[in-house]
Amino acid sequence: GPEEQKKALEKARKIADEARAGKDFAELAKASSEDLGSRALGGDLGWLDKGMTDPAFEGALYSLEKGKISDPVLSPEGYHVIEVREIRPGKTRTFEEVRGELANDFGESERERVYNERSGRLIDLTYEDSTSLEPAAKELGLKVEKTALFSRMGGTGIAENPAIVQAAFSDQVLVQGNNSDKVELGPNHLAIIRIAEHKAATAKPIEEVRADIQRRIIEERVSKQAKARADELFARLEKGESIDALATDLKLPLSEERGIGRNAVKLDAALVNAAFALPHPESAGKAPVQVVALAGDEYALLKLDHVADADPTAVDQVTRESARNTLQQNLASVAARDFIAALRASMEIKVVEDRM
């Protein structure tokens, strides 16, 4: 509201005055900035080119001389105080230098244009005649492909895609016998499907499924025994027995991993996720432990000895920019979702079906 904006402006003016009076800009940013992406870096945004920031921010940035402090600049993100630390001249590249990039850009935009044109026509044709795919395939020079029978659990080939399975078993396709709506399979890749053959599910004779039932019962019993054994060992750890002594007593392998990040690929993902979900160890003697379920009815006992926090100042500029962009996108997504939820809560929505 107006009061909040007034307070934010006063705060920005104070920061600008302190910076002009000689106070270190980086320290001011660390103490006062509300930008999570750059606060820990003393407000350092790295090298900025034209077109990378909000127009108001960019206008103020490019009007500043090196070492000067701007007045507060208002953008959709709030008020900014800018210091230009370095300026380096831009370089105009020759046509020959950018020929390849321009060709690639044109190729991509042309593929996008052709895809949009043909996919739009495909959707129109399969909607106009919802009882067949052949007219659309004939006009667009496409081939209608046929899958093998598959269940609601999916099948092979394109039937491995959950979106395809959902469309195939939808009321529109399965019950009404119409073509499906478009199914997005990836960038510039969609499918329209219809049912060629449907066989209702039937109960199999016990002779056909006896072996499968026996196998499942055995697997379930083995799984329960493995879980009970893991819980038993975990209880011993909780009572104070060390994991080293436990491993020695039971002659079980004990491995230690150091310097593991959230994206570690050499360890089971379940172990990594469990480790990063545990609380920080209070002390060497109070390291948190947990039972972690692995694939194949196997379990691991996990003990977390130490957590080393990341140092944002040691991250290179490209990674910082990527993290900053990700944070901004996530915050924007949350804000948009909350805004829509607020609108829905305050407005009455009526669906007029006869106009659809």
| Tens-digit pLDDT profile for residues 113-158 | 888 999 999 999 999 999 999 999 999 999 999 999 999 889 988 9
* Cβ-count burial 69-100 (b if 16+ within 10 Å, e if not): bbebbbeeebbbbbbbeeeeeeeeeeeeeeee
- Pair (248, 296) in one structural domain: yes
Question: Which residues of the chain have a pLDDT value below 50?
Answer: none
Q: Is residue 261 part of a domain?
A: yes
d(CA 63, CA 53): 14
Domain boundary among 148, 164, 191: 191
Closest by CA position to 157, among listed 168, 146, 173, 142: 146
The per-residue pLDDT for 283 is: 63
Q: What was the pLDDT predicted at 135?
A: 93
Instruction: Provide the token pair at 251.
Output: 């002659």
Full-model pTM = 0.38
C-alpha to C-alpha distance for 13 and 10, rounded to whole angstroms: 5
Counted residue by residue, the chain has a size of 356
pLDDT for 355: 65
Shared domain for 148 and 216, answered yes or no, is no
In a domain, 15, yes or no: no
User: Do both 184 and 217 map to the same domain?
Assistant: no
Please say whether the beta carbons of 38 and 20 come within 8 A.
no
Residue 21 domain flag: no
| Per-residue model confidence (pLDDT) at position 331 | 85
Number of domains in the chain: 2
Q: Which domain holds residue 285?
A: 206-303
Q: What is the structure's pLDDT at 176?
A: 92
Let me know: does 263 contact 253? Beta carbons within 8 Å: no
Q: Which long-range contacts (CB under 8 A, 24 or more apart) does 237-246 make?
A: 237/289, 237/301, 237/303, 238/289, 243/289, 243/301, 243/303, 246/301
What is the pLDDT at residue 285? Answer: 59
Q: Is residue 147 part of a domain?
A: yes
**Residue 356 confidence (pLDDT):** 55
